[in-house]
């Protein structure tokens, strides 16, 4: 199931989609860690908002300002930064993602 919501942050529609989503991920199309993180979110079946910063310096600056990091992906749950792909994997492996996401999680990630 693809739950990805591509939406530019600068539009009012994009801002509404981000407000409705509990997970946001800033990514670059060429980054393998970004692609893995997007695949993991699809695999666990949670809705999320993806923000492509590949060619958008304004959105990349927003990501850096929010996370304090320059690397991608950067993932936020309920507007709180959790880090990148490695941190997402630790969160899932520990089982803590269920507590953070509650009913948003449909199925656990297969190991």
Q: Domain containing 35: what range?
A: 4-104
Residues 6+ apart with CB under 8 A from 80: none
Please, which contacts does 4-8 make with residues 24 or more away whose CB atoms are closer than 8 Å?
4/38, 4/41, 4/42, 4/48, 4/50, 5/47, 5/48, 5/49, 5/50, 6/50, 6/52, 7/49, 7/50, 7/51
For 26-70, the pLDDT digits (tens) are: 999 999 999 999 999 999 888 999 999 999 999 999 999 999 999
Q: Which of 54, 55, 80 is nearest to 67 (CA)?
A: 80
| CATH code of the domain covering residue 35 | 3.40.30.10
Mean pLDDT (whole number) for 74-103: 85
Mean pLDDT, the chain, rounded, equals 80
Classify residue 109: in a domain, yes or no: no
């Amino acid at each position: 199931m693809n739950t990805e919501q591509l939406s530019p942050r600068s539009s009012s529609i994009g801002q509404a989609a981000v407000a409705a989503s509990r997970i946001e991920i800033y990514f670059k199309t060429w980054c393998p860690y970004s692609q893995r993180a997007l695949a993991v979110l699809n695999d666990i079946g949670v809705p999320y908002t993806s923000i492509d910063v590949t060619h958008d310096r304004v959105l990349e600056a927003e990501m850096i300002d929010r996370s304090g990091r320059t690397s991608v992906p950067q993932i936020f749950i309920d507007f709180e930064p959790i880090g990148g792909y490695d941190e997402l994997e630790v969160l899932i492996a520990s089982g803590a993602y269920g507590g953070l996401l509650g009913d948003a999680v449909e199925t656990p990630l297969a190991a």
